[in-house]
Amino acid sequence: MSEIRFRAPRFAPKAGQPFYQELTKRVNAYFEQNNISPKGNAKLYVKTGILIGGFLTAYLGLVLAAPSFSTAWMLWLALGLLTAAIGFNIMHDGAHGSFSKHNWLNEMAGHTVNFLGASILMWKTKHNTVHHTFTNIEGVDDDIDAGSLLRMAPGQERRGFHRFQHLYFSTLYALLYIYWVVYTDYKKYFSGKVGQVPIPKLTRFQHISFWAWKALHLVLFVGLPMWKLGFLPWLGGFMLMGMTAGFVLSIVFQLAHVVTEASFTPYVAGETLETEDEWAIYQMKTTANFATKSKFLTWFLGGLNFQVEHHLFPRISHIHYPDLSKIVKETAAEFNVQYHEFKTFASAVRSHVQHLRMMGQMA
C-alpha cells in the first residue's frame, strides 16, 4: 500500500479578513513609536546569564564537589527546574529568531536545547513549523498527540482507561523530558517526519551535529556523573532532574492549548482541510493565556503564560509580551475575536483537568 501524502491544511486568505493586518500594523507602530527593537534586550541577556550560571553551578557542584546525599538531590532538582527555564527563556526565543537581532546569537541560544539532550533540528520542525502553523489540528499537531495513553482531542480514539486520565496525566507529563531525549528525537530522525509532516532533508553537517550533540549529552549527564557519584545515586538524581523538567515543560505547554476553552479541528490524512478562519483568528481560538499578572511566572516561563501573543508574533521576544497583550486585547475586542485568558495558574490547571476528564468520558 502506498503511503498517503501529507496535504497541509489551508487557512482563509488574509484579504477580506483584516484582523491580523490591523493588529500587525498596531504592533509595528508600538515598536516604532517607542524606538525599541522587537528582539531581546538587556533584561533577557541578564536573565540568560542567571539561568546558565545557575545551571553550570549546580552541575559542577554535582560532579566536582562530591556533595552529600541531601545536597546532591537538591542540585538535581535545581537542574530540572533550570532545564525547563532555559528551554522556556533562552532556547525558545533563539529557535524562533527572537532572542537577538543577530542570527549567530539566535543560533547559540537555540542550540542550548542540544546541550540539554534534545535536538534543535527536530524541535524547529516539530514546534516552529508544525505546532505554530497547525495548532490543535488533530493528526497534525504533534503536541496534542500522546499516542494511546492520553486522549487530548475529540477526534482521537477513546479507550476505556481514558476515563482515569485526569488522575494519571501528571505521571506521564513527568516522563516527557526523558522520553524526548531517549526516544522521540531518534524516532523523528530515522522516520524523517514529525507525525505526518516531513522534516527538511538534513545536510551532512546536520547529521554529524545531531549525533555529536547526543554523544556529548551522554558524556556530561550519564557517563561523568555516574562515574563520580555511582550508578544508583546517578540514576535517582537523573530521574529527579528529568521528571521535574518534564512535568514543568508539559504542564506549561498544555495549559495554553489543551483546555476547555480552546477549539480543536479534525483532519483526515490525504484530504485537504480548509478552515473558515484566517490563520491569526484560528490561533486565537486554539490558544489561551494564564496568570499574566504574575511577574514571577512571566519571568520563569519566558512569557509563555502569554501564549496568545506568542502564537501571533513568535518572532518577537517574550520580553515584550506584557505590553503587546494590551494591543492584542483591544484589537480583538474591536473585531469581535475571542481572547482566552485564565486569571490564575490554578484556574488554568482546573480547566486542563476538566478537559482531560471530558475527553475521557465522551465518545
Measuring CA to CA, which residue among 153, 155, 135, 142 is closest to residue 281? 135
CA 229, 233, 178: angle at the middle one, nearest 5? 110
- Provide the grid cell at 156: 482521537
One-letter amino acid at 45 equals Y
CB 60 within 8 A of CB 225: no
Does the residue 139 lie in any domain?
yes
Radius of gyration of the chain (CA): 21
CB atoms near residue 282 (< 10 Å): 23
- Provide the grid cell at 199: 522534516
Does the residue 308 lie in any domain?
yes
Model confidence pLDDT, tens digit, residues 307-359: 999 999 999 999 999 999 999 999 999 999 999 999 999 999 999 999 999 99
Does the residue 5 lie in any domain?
no
Query: Could you list the residue range(s) of the whole structural domain that residue 107 is in?
Result: 35-361
Does the residue 14 lie in any domain?
no
CB neighbour list of residue 130: distance below 8 Å, 6 or more residues apart: 140, 141, 142, 194, 195, 197
CB 302 within 8 A of CB 89: yes
- Provide the grid cell at 126: 516539530
Does the residue 7 lie in any domain?
no
- In the beta sheet, which residues pair with residue 194? 197
What is the full DSSP assignment across 46-106? HHHHHHHHHHHHHHHHHHHS---HHHHHHHHHHHHHHHHHHIIIIIHHHHHT-S-SSHHHH
Does the residue 350 lie in any domain?
yes
Does the residue 165 lie in any domain?
yes
> Which residues of the chain are under the pLDDT cut of 50?
1-2
Does the residue 333 lie in any domain?
yes
What is the full DSSP assignment across 99-130? S-SSHHHHHHHHTHHHHTTS-HHHHIIIIIII
User: What is the domain count for the chain?
Assistant: 1
pLDDT at 139: 86
